[in-house]
Amino acid sequence: MSTTASLGVIGGSGFYSFLDDIEEVRVDTPYGPPSDPVAVGELAGRRVAFIPRHGRDHRYPPHRIPYRANLWALRALGVRQVLAPSAVGSLTPDLGPGTLAIPDQLVDRTSGRPQTYYDEGAAVHVSFADPYCPHGRRAALKAARSADWDLAADGTLVVIEGPRFSTRAESRWFAGQGWTLIGMTGHPEAVLARELALCYTPLCLVTDLDAGIEEGEGVTMDEVLRVFGENVGRLRSLAADIVTALPTERDCPCPNVLDGIDLPLRLP
């Protein structure tokens, strides 16, 4: 059985079951081990690699996830297109729990996370004006509409450091900027994918209204897990539909983002 794959998924442990004939692969990277051994399997005739973002036992909080190792390991196995399902909060009452959002923009409000592969040897500046793969987003939107999701076809995801949730004042400030979604894992994941010339497409499941948007006790982990658990099967099916719809040949801008740059390291 081949341990290579062209497509990758970074998500929750509930995604193991959408692959057939799984083989676990341990990948050594210059940045340490990934969150867990990579599960490589079949889906509709395509080879797919899966990494549980937080580890299968959820041992990595958002600010300690080995993001660099995860993306490097996927590329080392041949992955060039990545789907990234995650739970997010909503910064607007218009996007309630159970909504699927495919954001088109990202704002980084994290601190202290390693967020580049090119931190020595030479300065490397990659384009990140549009942080997500346009063809991946198109495939995701088409599949979500076909599956009759309550869908937000764009939006701005603000990524906070975590692991705590926002204060009401922070939440209202984020919403006041016009940002619509809030999460803890979308950065540096997206920029690291760009630095490896990978296509990266987020699938954001809204699990709650953020603290400044709704009165009450605020966001709780129980609420997030409950809503995510109620929707994970449907989200898993959607990811499978998108995987089968993604083109085998990439003609988006993502493969060419490093063209003309003298890289200080050799990519896998």
Give the pLDDT of residue 263.
94
What token pair was written down for 219?
A: 């966001």
Q: Which residues of 203-224 are buried (b: 16+ CB within 10 A; e: fewer)?
A: bbbbbbbbbbbbeeebbeeebb
- Range 74-96 burial, b when 16+ CB lie within 10 A, else e: bbbbbbbbbbbbbbbbbbbeebe
Model confidence at 45, pLDDT cuts 50, 70, 90, reads: confident
Q: Respond yes or no: is residue 119 known to be catalytic.
A: no
Q: What is the pLDDT of residue 21?
A: 85
Distance CA 91, CA 171 (A): 7
From the list 57, 119, 208, 222, the catalytic residue is 208
- Which SS3 state, helix, strand or coil, does residue 229 take? helix
- 100 in helix, strand or coil? strand
Q: Where are the alpha helices (DSSP H) in 20-130?
A: 67-76
7-250 belongs to CATH 3.40.50.1580: yes
Tell me which range, 15-19, 97-101, 219-223, is most confidently predicted by mean pLDDT: 97-101
Which residues are bridge partners to 83 per DSSP? 9, 201
Q: Which of 21, 210, 222, 262 is catalytic?
A: 210
Q: What is the mean predicted confidence (pLDDT) over 78-103?
A: 96
In this prediction, residue 135 has a pLDDT band, given cuts at 50, 70 and 90, of very high
- The pLDDT of residue 129 is above 70: yes
Q: In the predicted model, what is the mean pLDDT of residues 165-192?
A: 97
Q: How far apart are CA 190 and CA 106, in angstroms?
A: 9
Residue 200 has pLDDT above 60, yes or no: yes
* Token reading at 266: 């050799």
Cα–Cα dist 63/74, whole Å: 20
pLDDT score for 216:
63
As a whole number, the mean pLDDT across the chain is 93
Cα torsion angle, 109, 110, 114, 115, sign: negative
pLDDT at 13: 64
Average pLDDT over residues 88-97: 95
Q: Look at 107 and 219; give whichever has higher pLDDT.
A: 107
Residue 210 appears among annotated catalytic residues? yes
How much is the average pLDDT of 73-95?
A: 97
Query: What pLDDT is stored for residue 212 in this prediction?
Result: 81
| pLDDT at 1 > cutoff 70 | no
Percent of the chain with pLDDT over 90: 81
Give CA 222 to chain center in angstroms. Answer: 22
What average pLDDT does range 109-125 have in this prediction?
A: 94
Compute the CA torsion angle 154, 160, 166, 171 (nearest 10 deg): -40
* Percent helix, strand and coil across the chain, each to the nearest 5: 30, 25, 45
Q: pTM of the entire structure?
A: 0.95
- At residue 213, the pLDDT reads 82
pLDDT category at 81 given cuts 50, 70, 90 is very high
Encode pLDDT of 212-243 as tens digits.
Answer: 887 666 778 888 888 888 888 899 999 999 99
